[in-house]
Each structure stands twice: as C-alpha cells, then as structure tokens.
Amino acid sequence: MEVPSRVRGLQACLDSAGCDALLVTHLINIRYLTGFTGSSGYLWVGPTSVSLITDGRYDEQARGELYATGVMAEVIIGRSPSAIREALSDHAEGVRNLGIEAEHVSWAEQGRYARDVFPSTTLVPSSGLVEALRAVKDRGEVARIEAACAIADAALATVAPGLEHRPTEAVFALELDAAMRTGGADAVSFDTIVASGPLGSRPHHMPSDRVIERGDLVVIDFGAMIDGYHSDMTRTIAVGGSAALDATQRRMLTVVGEAQAAGVAAVAAGVSTAAVDTACREVIAAAGWAEAFVHGTGHGVGLDIHEAPRVAATDAATLLAGHVVTVEPGVYLPGHGGVRIEDTVVVTESGCRTLTRAPKS
Ligand code: ZN
Ligand code: ZN
C-alpha cells in the first residue's frame, strides 16, 4: 500500500473545505492515513505538518506502525487526558478555522471541543474528506480485499456440503465463521447472516435455532477481514438442489441471478451508480417483483464494510477505476423466503473484475 501520499491528498483538500487544518478523530480514517491501529488517538493534519496524538498504551505501537508505512508524522504521547487536551490546544494556536469530522463527532464531543479544547478557534464541520480518498483503492488495498474474498470463497466451499445434514442456522454460521478464521481471516467482516426457508424473506435475519431442511433456500451473507480490509459476499443455496424447490423459489433464483449478472455487466469507470442499480432493478421489475427488492443494489467495501460509493438510485455517484463495490440484488417474498446474490467487484476502465468467486449455481 502507498500510505504516505494519502495525507498529502488530504492536505490538498483543506483549502477548498474551508479549513486551515483538520482534526481527524475517526479511527478508521486515522488508520487509512497513517497505518496506526490503536483504539484511541487524534490525527492533526495541517497544511504541511501531521501529528498523531495518542496515549501511553500506544507509544511503541504508534511509532512502529508509522515507521512501517513510512508516514512522516510527529508522534505525541499524552500521559493523561489533560495532557492530550493540552497537545490539541497547542496545535490550534494561530489556526482560525479547524475542520472537524462532522459525521463522526457527537453533539457532546463537539461541545467539549468548542468549550474546553479550542475556545478561540472556529470549528468547521467537514464531511467525507477522508472517505472520498478511501473510495479509490490502491493495488495493495485491492490485494487485501481479494485475499479476504478468497478466504470467504474457500470457507463456503468447505462448509456448504454440511447444509444437507440439517444444521441450525446458528451452528452453520458458526462453522462458516470458524472456517474463515482457520483459513487465515483476522476476523469476520460482520455478523454472518444465515436466513433459511421462510426466514429468508428478512434481508438481515440473524442466525436462529431453526433447523435447515431440504427444499429450503438459504441466504448466506458473510465476509472475511484481512489487515483491516473486508470482503462481502452473499450466496443463496437450494438445499437438496433446485429439484427440491417449488416453482416460485426456482423463479426467484433465476430472476435474481439474471439481475445480479446485469448489474455486474453494467459496472465500469464513468458509469453512474444509479445505472448499475437500474440494470438490476429492471430485471426484477420485469418479473413483477419490483416491490420485493427492498434495498439498495450495493455499496463500497474497504476498511469499512459499508463505505463510499453507495450503489443506489439515490445519492448517485460516478464509478471510478479502483472503486471496490458490491452488486447485491435480492427478492424477498414472505412465505416463500428470499434470494440475494452478492459479489464484491473492483471497477476498471472497461468494466470490472469480480473478487468473490464462489459458484452461484
Ligand atoms: Zn453482504
Ligand atoms: Zn453488502
């Protein structure tokens, strides 16, 4: 990963954001900009200088992580909350407008900053500055996401045959999580979704003690994490094969499969995310199920499981080469269950490359 250029990219945005400096408080943004993975810290980004301010637990770790990424930042260790406050106040001397990450600072924190830490500085709410940089991945980031996707693919291949042996949703989810961890994942990306039979009509159903039976459609939405980077994939498996399904379930699988393929085919640099959403939605609407596709088509994936850009008709963004997004249409019919199929893809100039490769049949 090419980390040091990220802070320079952010510094180049300060002027247009109306800030003399930016206080980065969102830990995932700090990790992205510096490589620091501690659970507490502030990154002060001035026009030409950068300081990481954290506490005594992270002295050695912070210096080691910044050394590893090659980020040239001053590391300041505050041995008490008041020392950290003082370090922040010192940095604000002579700064007129200080950007605050408005999406990540609570009402109470903003009040404390204004009253106790930066009393003679104007606080400027800023939004999405680091997130916009994060949306376009470099090669090292794509490699980490691709490795996480490969672990998820292999884990599903290992445990999927067990669906024939009537596990509960909860036990199957646990086996899948364990297979990802033993396969090399640092963690799972999010709470694994296993939604079987009639429960599949709830898009974000949490694994229950329902026993998975032959003839069930099982929606399995899961991911692995590598070095902070997530993967995200959904497969819907027909237990006992498609012969065990009724006609509606079979049609759901066909329609969602076609919708998902149409969405992936629409992805390319320069294309609006709304166009990808429409490509999926038209197929499902033609089948008469427009109302049953109850969520957006996809989202960016990276250090967060859900990040910019959103793939939806609202908030339309333009896809850029290096964006990593999901395409995940679904149809949910109470009484019949649900089908969702999701891939994580990296956008290229001419289309995209699919990183999640588990079979869909
Ligand atoms: Zn997912
Ligand atoms: Zn997703």
Tell me how far the alpha carbon of residue 246 lies from the centroid of ligand 2, in angstroms.
27
Distance CA 191, CA 112 (A): 34
Tell me how far the alpha carbon of residue 62 lies from the centroid of ligand 1, in angstroms.
32
Residue 314: what pLDDT? Answer: 86
Q: How much is the mean pLDDT over the chain?
A: 97
Q: Does residue 139 carry a pLDDT above 90?
A: yes
Tell me how far the alpha carbon of residue 299 lies from the centroid of ligand 2, in angstroms.
6
Span 183-195, pLDDT tens digits: 999 999 999 999 9
Tell me how far the alpha carbon of residue 343 lies from the centroid of ligand 2, in angstroms.
8
Distance CA 213, CA 248 (A): 17
Q: Does residue 136 carry a pLDDT above 90?
A: yes
CA 134, chain centre distance (Å): 11
Residues with CB under 5 A from ligand 1 (ion): 221, 232, 234, 342
Tell me how far the alpha carbon of residue 232 lies from the centroid of ligand 2, in angstroms.
5
Backbone φ and ψ for 298, nearest 5 degrees, come out as 180, -170
Domain with CATH 3.40.350.10 in the chain: 4-134
pLDDT band at 76 (very low <50, low <70, confident <90, very high): very high
Q: Does residue 315 carry a pLDDT above 80?
A: no
Tell me how far the alpha carbon of residue 298 lies from the centroid of ligand 2, in angstroms.
6
User: Nearest ligand to the C-alpha of residue 327?
Assistant: 2
For the chain, what percent of residues have pLDDT higher than 70? 100
Span 196-251, pLDDT tens digits: 999 999 999 999 999 999 999 999 999 999 999 999 999 999 999 999 999 999 99
Residue 185: what pLDDT? Answer: 98
Work out the burial of residue 160: count CB atoms within 10 Å of its CB; fewer than 13 is exposed, 13-18 middle, 19 or more buried. Answer: buried
**Residue 10 neighbours by CB distance under 10 Å:** 23
**Residue 350 neighbours by CB distance under 10 Å:** 8
The stretch 109-135 carries a mean pLDDT of: 96
Distance CA 89, CA 176 (A): 48
Question: Dmax of the chain from CA atoms?
Answer: 73
Domain with CATH 3.90.230.10 in the chain: 136-354
The stretch 24-34 carries a mean pLDDT of: 98
This model's pTM is above 0.75? yes
How many residues appear in the chain?
361
Cα angle 56, 114, 22; round to 5: 65
pLDDT band at 16 (very low <50, low <70, confident <90, very high): very high
Residue 361: what pLDDT? Answer: 80
Distance CA 3, CA 67 (A): 11
For the chain, what percent of residues have pLDDT higher than 90? 98
- CATH fold of 4-134: Creatine Amidinohydrolase; Chain A, domain 1 (3.40.350)
User: Nearest ligand to the C-alpha of residue 326?
Assistant: 2
Span 239-298, pLDDT tens digits: 999 999 999 999 999 999 999 999 999 999 999 999 999 999 999 999 999 999 999 999
Residue 265: what pLDDT? Answer: 98
Residue 225: what pLDDT? Answer: 98
Tell me how far the alpha carbon of residue 243 lies from the centroid of ligand 1, in angstroms.
26
- CATH fold of 136-354: Creatine Amidinohydrolase (3.90.230)
- Full DSSP string of 89-133: HHHTTT-SEEEEETTTS-HHHHHHIIIII-TTSEEEEE-SHHHHH
pLDDT band at 316 (very low <50, low <70, confident <90, very high): confident
The stretch 89-111 carries a mean pLDDT of: 96
